[in-house]
Chains A and B, each alone.
Chain A
C-alpha cells in the first residue's frame, strides 16, 4: 500500500511539476497562432525527455552518484566543463524566467506591479531552498501544480471543433498566413520547452538526494513514463484553449494574463482562481528546481558537498551558488526586462544546448562499470541515438531561425 501511494504521489507530482513558464508561454503562443498543428513537436519533445530522464534516473539509481560528477569522471574535465557550461547557462536563464513568471502570476492576482513583487519572490525562493525539506518542497509544489489540469477541463468545456483540431494535429496543417520558417521556429521552441535540460538533471539529482535504490526503479519509471506524458497533455490543453479562444481574434500571446483568459471564458472566476494557483505553483516549483539545479551542477562538477539532505553549514558553497543565482535573477528582472522575452530566449537556448547536455548521459548510461546489468539496452540506445540526431538538428536550426524570424515575430 505504501509503495502504491509512493508511486501515485510520484506520478502526480511529475504531472504537476512538468509544466513551467516556458511550456505555459510557448504552448499558448503556438496555440493562438498555429492551432494544434504543432502538436507533434510537443509529443516528440515529451517522448525525448522521457527517454533521457529514465536514463539519468537509472544512472542515479545504479551508481548512487549524480550526473555531472559521472560525466566529468567519464568524459574528462574539458568535456564535462562544456556540458556544465551549456546546462548552467540554460538553467540560470530558465531560473530568471521562472522567478519573473511567479511575479507575473502574482501581479495577475493582485494588480500590484511585478517590480515590487520580484524581490519578495527572490527572498521566498531562497528561503525555501535554504530551509525547506526536499520532499516537502517537491510534493507541495508538484501537487499544487496539478491545478493546471483546469486547462484540460476548460478545453473540454469550450467545446471546440474537435474534428478541425484533430485535422490540424494529424496533418500538421499550418495556417495559410504563416510562413514555414516561423512554423519551424516555434516547432524548435516547443521542442526546447519540452526537453528543458534542468528537468532531467533535477530529476536525477533528486534521486541521489532521496537515496533511490534498485527497488525504486519501478517508481522512477512510473513517474517518467506516466507522469511526464500526462504533463505533456496539459501542454496540449493549454495550446488547445488558446487556439479556441485567442486564435479566432488573432491574439498574439505576449503576456501571462492572456494565457489564463480562455480558462476564465470557459469556467468563470472559479476557473481563474484555480489557474492562478496553478501558475504560481508551476513557476515557483520550477524556480526552486532550477535554483537547486544551478547549485547541483556546480557542486557535482567541482566535487563540493551538495544537496538538501545535508545541513546548509556542511554545503556552504552549494548554498552560496543558490544565493548568488537568486541575487542575479532578481537583479536582471529589476532592470525591467520582460520575463516573457527571457522565457522565449531560454527555450531557444535550451534547444541550442540540448546535444551538449544529453549526449554525456547516453555515454554514461552505456558504461557497464557504472550501470552493471542496467546498462542501456537496444531500445534505449536506439531511441537515444534517434533523439541525439533530433536534438542536434534542433540545436543547429535554433539560432538561425531565431535571427531570421526575429524571434518568431
Chain B
C-alpha cells in the first residue's frame, strides 16, 4: 500500500508539475520554457502531418491510419496550445507571447486543414496541405529559434 501511495504521489506531482508550468507564468524563464514546449509540440504535430501527407500522396498509407495519425497530431497540438494559452505572460514577454500565440493558432489551423484533406481523400487537397504544413513547420521552427535566442 505504501508503494501505491508513493507512486500515486509521485505521478500526481509529475503531472501537477506540468500544470504549474502551464499556469500563470511567474518568471521569464518559466514562460520561455512553456513557449519552447508548445512550439516543440506543434513542430512534432506538423512533422507528423508532413509524414502522413507525403506517404498518402505516394500511396503508402491506408485511409484509416492516415486519418487517425493526423487526428492524433491535431489533438496533441490543440492540447499543447490550450495549456500555453491559459498562462499570462510576464510583462517583458508580452510581445513574444502574442507572436507565439499567433503561431500556435496558425499551426492549429494548418493541422485542421491537413485533417480535412486526409478525411476528404482528394490528391489535390493532400498536395496543398503538404505544402502548407511544410511552410508552417519552417515558420514554427523560426519562431522557436527566435524564442530560444532570448525572446524579444
**Footprint of B on A, CB under 8 Å?**
82, 85-86, 89, 107-111, 245-246, 249-252, 254-255, 257-258, 260-261, 264-265, 267-269, 272-273, 276, 345, 349, 352-353, 356, 399, 402-403, 406-407, 409
Contact call A89/B69, Cβ cutoff below 8 A = no
Tell me the total A-B contact number using a CB cutoff of 8 A: 110
Most central of B50, B52, B60 by chain A CB within 10 Å = B60
Chain B: interface size category: 35 or more
Contact call A264/B60, Cβ cutoff below 8 A = yes
Q: Is B124 an interface residue (CB 8 A)?
A: no
Instruction: Answer whether A252 and B41 are a contact pair too, CB < 8 Å, given A260-B65, A406-B14, A407-B14.
Output: yes
Contact call B51/A261, Cβ cutoff below 8 A = yes
Contact call A252/B44, Cβ cutoff below 8 A = yes
Which residues of B have CB within 8 Å of A108? 64-65, 68-69
The 9 closest A-B pairs by CB, nearest first: A249-B47, A255-B72, A257-B69, A252-B44, A399-B10, A268-B60, A251-B47, A111-B64, A264-B61
**Footprint of A on B, CB under 8 Å?**
1, 3-4, 6-7, 10-11, 13-15, 17-18, 21, 37, 40-41, 43-44, 47-48, 50-52, 55, 58-65, 67-69, 72-73, 76, 137
Contact call B61/A352, Cβ cutoff below 8 A = no
Among A250, A345, A353, point to the contact of B3 (Cβ < 8 A): A353
Q: A80: shortest Cβ distance to chain B, in Å?
A: 14
A257 — nearest CB in chain B belongs to which residue?
B69
Which residues of A have CB within 8 Å of B68? 107-108, 111, 257
Contact call B60/A265, Cβ cutoff below 8 A = yes
Q: List 10 A-B contacts (CB under 8 A).
A: A111-B68, A250-B47, A251-B47, A261-B69, A264-B55, A269-B61, A402-B10, A402-B14, A406-B14, A406-B18
Q: B32: shortest Cβ distance to chain A, in Å?
A: 14
Give complex CA distance A257, B48 in Å.
10
Contact call B48/A258, Cβ cutoff below 8 A = yes
Among B37, B48, B55, point to the contact of A251 (Cβ < 8 A): B48
Interface contacts beyond A89-B7, A250-B43: sample of 18 additional A-B pairs, CB < 8 Å, sorted by A: A89-B4, A111-B63, A249-B43, A249-B137, A255-B76, A257-B68, A258-B69, A261-B61, A264-B55, A265-B51, A269-B59, A272-B62, A273-B62, A276-B65, A352-B6, A356-B3, A403-B13, A407-B15
Which residues of B have CB within 8 Å of A353? 3
Contact call A246/B72, Cβ cutoff below 8 A = no
Instruction: Answer whether A352 and B3 are a contact pair too, CB < 8 Å, given A111-B64, A409-B18.
Output: yes
B7 — nearest CB in chain A belongs to which residue?
A349
Which residues of A have CB within 8 Å of B64? 108-111
Q: A264: shortest Cβ distance to chain B, in Å?
A: 5
A352 — nearest CB in chain B belongs to which residue?
B7
Most central of A245, A265, A406 by chain B CB within 10 Å = A406
Give complex CA distance A397, B72 in Å.
31
